[in-house]
Amino acid sequence: MLDISALLEEVKASPYVESSVKTPHSGVVSFNDDLKPGAALFGPQGLYKEKPGTLLANLERERVSKSINALEKGELVAVNTELAGRFVQAGTEIMRVRHFLSRKEVLDIILKEALHLFRAPEKAKYYFVPAVDLKVKNTGPKSVSVHDGMDLFIISRMKRETPLRYSGPDGVIYAVYFSVHQNLDAGEPLIGICPPSQVNQIEEVAMRVQTEWPDE
């Protein structure tokens, strides 16, 4: 059985993701001199993420220079300064950067580990079958037990309605990710399922993350 508290402690112990920045191809590296270890980095910004992230380095090959930019918000951990001005092969690590996890990302990690997500197979509107819908409305989704092969949803698209059966591990519905009349894209989660015994534990951890995790 999954130990959710341990998972949270693990995330709290290292509340970030550290990754290395590697050269996409061979070339001569030149670093952004303004950046020192500990410097704050920004990912792509703007309404459409049209502004590139912080410039980390330039890579020149065959008289053409390619910029390497930060992909996420974070902090610069280390720079392999000995590579500055040298020719490197593709895939060479030139920097290490650290991205601090946001509250939402931590919750996502925990729920991803703890829940089984049942996803929408196609772009459509989704409804619970009437019996389940009634139960969800009256006593909440956590009172609904599901099992593999159970008739759970109705897919409605362009006036055509077809039933959809649940497939996955048995459990109770921990979270519902759609609302009535909402159009969902294929692949978006519909419900999150967990074993009945873990419901309280997940709720508690989620609450702790909401209250304890520092805001962005």
Partner 1 sequence: MEDKRFNQLKERYNYMHDILAGKNNENLRLLASRLEELDSRFPALSARERETAVTSLEDLFNFVEKKIEVELTPMDRVRIVRNPQRICLRDILENVYDNYTEIGSMGEHSPDPAMLIARAYITRRHGKRVFNQSVMVIGHEKGHGEEIRNGGSAQPWGNAKALHYMKVAETENIPIHTYVFTPGAFPVEDTPGAAQQIARNLFEMGNVKVPILAVFSEGGSGGAEAVGLADRRLMLSHGYYSVISPEGGAAIEGNVKRGPRATPELIEKVASDLCITAQDNLRLGYIDRIIQEPNLGARCHHFDFFRLLRQEVLRATDEIVLDVRGMQPFRAMGKRSRRKKIEEGLNMENVRMSWNLSPSAQERLMERRHRKFRGLAGQAFIDPRTKWDLFKQGLNETFWELAGYIRYDLLRKRQQNIANFFGEIRSETSLFIKNQTAPLRRLLGKAIPPLRVKRNGEAEKQLTTLSDWNDGNERGQWSYVSPKAKEDKAVICPNSATHGCLDMWAPDLYGEFAGVCTNCGHHFPMEYQWYLYNMFDAGSIHEFNAEIEARNPLDYEGFDLKLEKAKAATGRKSSCMTFEASIQGINLCVYMLMAPFRGGSVGAAEGEKIILASERASKKRLPLLAYVHGTAGIRIQEGVNGVIQMPRCTMAMRRYIDAGGLYLVLYDTNSYAGPVASFLGCSPYQFGIRSSNVGFAGPGVIQETTGVMPPPHYHSVYKALARGHIQGVWDRREARFNLHQSMLTMGGRNLYYK
Binding site for partner 1 (CB under 8 A): 25, 46-48, 50, 61-64, 66
Residue 78: partners with Cβ closer than 8 Å, 6 or more residues away: 37, 95, 96
Q: Which is nearer to partner 1, 65 or 210 (CB)?
A: 65
Q: Which is nearer to partner 1, 24 or 169 (CB)?
A: 24
Minimum gap (Å) between residue 25 Cβ and partner 1: 7
Strand partners, 194: 172
Minimum gap (Å) between residue 74 Cβ and partner 1: 19
Minimum gap (Å) between residue 71 Cβ and partner 1: 10
Q: How far is CA 22 from each of CA 35, 39, 91, 93, rounded to the nearest angstrom?
A: 17, 18, 5, 4
Minimum gap (Å) between residue 29 Cβ and partner 1: 16
Q: Which is nearer to partner 1, 1 or 64 (CB)?
A: 64
Q: CB of 174 within 8 A of CB of 104?
A: no
**Euclidean distance between CA atoms 37 and 76, whole angstroms:** 5
Tell me the residue type at 5.
Answer: S
Minimum gap (Å) between residue 43 Cβ and partner 1: 14
Q: Which is nearer to partner 1, 19 or 102 (CB)?
A: 19
Count Cβ neighbours within 10 Å for each residue of 108-124 and write b for 16 or more, e otherwise.
ebbbeebbbebebeeeb
Q: CB of 97 within 8 A of CB of 21?
A: yes
Q: Which is nearer to partner 1, 27 or 192 (CB)?
A: 27
